[in-house]
A and B are shown apart, each in its own frame.
Chain A
């Protein structure tokens, strides 16, 4: 099979799959929201013009048709060019990041014209996969900021400003969380990270729980999910940066949000939860025959779905952070934790074997004990020091007359 055709096929499957997944995750999100609130959720829309309901599985199609057939109205006060560029930018960035997400490799019969194993990713050979995701992911901030700016609306602008500060702040802990994994693996390639975890049989979450916590929190914030959804904050900002959008452009924003969530879930699974690996089920060789490869894809997607379900449950479990709390969690808790994690992992990579030997432990066991100990210590220290405690109110002993002129 010619490489171009192969790539095109992969892109078609990926884009189609992601769009379908995003559409149906909207339905899942609404179901979960409903169940948490003791409701039933959408269960009416089935096959059109019949009484067949299919538990509401027709809902995403109906939503899509509704979005696409809306009148394409452009508000008068917007910046025309940026108003169109913003949703495209955020959507392209969200979609492009999936190019390096690996689903495993499969050995197909040579008679079909394949030489060597087929890697199930659009851009499988990219050595800087992790950097690529970061670089492309950062473009998403532009979509939000441009959208808010172009809308020429107070609330949109609030949303955009909040979002730019939030996304930039949380990119630091996100990177620090990954750094530990990259140090332990010695590669930026996502499939190498999975293979390394599969080979040793210990997922990174067991040996680097601190990094996992930091990365998870940062991933929630980067995906803009509750309790970090300040860019949108429906209750305060109408709809945040996409208040002025409607129709297809609004749909692009919505789909991008879900793509961000899917990407965050994929990254959590690949970096910390072992990717397609499951003990005694999927083996650890890099390339396998198709039944095992299929099983690996199923395992990977099941894990991703589990993380996404947690994302959706989290939305209804904890209240949104206040803006100053959000910043304090990033700068005073998550970044120090991330730095400590990097130092601990780096130290253990260098001296781990020697340190573990007198205790009769393997390097992984020692790392796990150290990792959980450090997490416990960090959590305890944060609890006692309480760096995020600060009133949001003006202090009574300070006079505001001096610095507040009328």
Chain B
């Protein structure tokens, strides 16, 4: 059994398992090459004179068709009282395939939840912008915005901490509303 598995197998071209697919023979029009010649040239010329699709960044900005499903830079949402919404449940860090989310949980100073993130960092260079954290979050605390031009001068700069992520929320809360109000409703009613 073992010898059979490790045996070097080379497939011959007369192997019965190979299904040879013959390329279709061209008709007279195709074989004359003239039609294909004209077709190629007309396609090229049509595009040559067509309207150009280039966006002259940075003077022009890219228009994002649906910001609510765009996966750009992360933000940490605030509730109505301006506190971070996150309850430090680690679901996003668990879901993250790139392991770029690092949360340090601590006892919450507020009465409406047990834990809150003492620190919450995302390594934006490691992130693959898959949006799994957003899907996993039970309180809609983490979201992907439609900011796409993310850049920095050092690796350290690209590790976003809690304050930075909250500031992204402050910058984008008007541009992009939250997808649901599930988490909002939960934190808003109860007092401390």
Contact = CB atoms under 8 A, between A and B. Distances in A.
Interface in B137-153: none
A317 B41 contact: yes
Contacts of B43: 317
Q: Which of B13, B25, B34 has most chain A Cβ within 10 Å?
A: B13
B6 interface: no
A391 interface: yes
Contacts, number: 63
A40 B44 contact: no
A25 B101 CA distance: 50
Contacts of A32: 48
Interface string A34-58: 0111111000000000000000000
Contact of A399 (B14, B20, B52, B56): B14
A393 B52 CA distance: 41
A401 interface: yes
Contacts of A38: 47, 50-54
B37 to A, nearest CB: 7
B31 A396 contact: no
A147 to B, nearest CB: 31
A40 B14 contact: no
Interface string A331-347: 00000000000000000
B13 to A, nearest CB: 4
Given A384-B28, A400-B14, A316 B44 contact: yes
Interface string B36-64: 11001101110110111110100000000
| Tier of interface size on chain B | 20 to 34
Nearest to B28: A383
B31 A383 contact: yes
A383 B14 contact: no
B23 interface: yes
B31 A389 contact: yes
B22 A35 contact: no
A36 B40 CA distance: 12
Interface in A376-406: 379-380, 382-384, 386, 389, 391, 393-394, 396, 398-401, 406
A372 B23 CA distance: 33
A386 B26 CA distance: 10
A313 interface: yes
Contact of B48 (A36, A380, A396, A399): A36
A313 B45 CA distance: 8
A406 B10 CA distance: 10
Highest count of chain B CB atoms <10 Å: which of A380, A396, A399: A396
Interface in B1-36: 10, 12-14, 20, 22-23, 25-26, 28, 31-34, 36
A389 B54 CA distance: 41
Contacts of B40: 317-318
A389 B14 contact: no
B13 A394 contact: yes
Nearest to A393: B20
Contact of B12 (A35, A316, A400): A400
B20 A313 contact: no
B47 A35 contact: yes
A386 B31 contact: yes
Interface in A154-205: none
Nearest to B16: A396
A35 B13 CA distance: 44
A40 B41 contact: no
A313 B41 contact: yes
Nearest to A315: B44
Contacts of B37: 318
A351 B14 CA distance: 58
A394 to B, nearest CB: 4
A165 to B, nearest CB: 22
A125 to B, nearest CB: 41
A324 B142 CA distance: 57
B26 to A, nearest CB: 8
A400 B13 contact: yes
A37 B50 CA distance: 9
Contacts of B25: 389
Nearest to B54: A40
Contacts of B26: 389
A214 to B, nearest CB: 14
Contact of A401 (B12, B32, B33, B50): B12
Interface centre among A379, A380, A386 (most CB of B within 10 A): A386
Nearest to B23: A391
Contacts of A314: 41
Contacts of A406: 10
A17 to B, nearest CB: 27
B12 A36 contact: no
Contacts of A383: 28, 31-33
Interface of A: 32, 35-40, 313-314, 316-318, 379-380, 382-384, 386, 389, 391, 393-394, 396, 398-401, 406
18 contacts: A35-B47, A36-B47, A37-B47, A39-B52, A39-B53, A40-B54, A40-B56, A318-B36, A318-B40, A379-B34, A382-B32, A383-B31, A383-B32, A389-B31, A393-B20, A396-B13, A400-B12, A400-B14
Given A313-B48, A379-B34, A400-B12, 10 more contacts: A36-B47, A37-B47, A39-B52, A314-B41, A383-B32, A384-B28, A391-B22, A393-B20, A394-B13, A396-B13
Closest 4 CB pairs of A and B: A317-B40, A394-B13, A383-B32, A40-B54
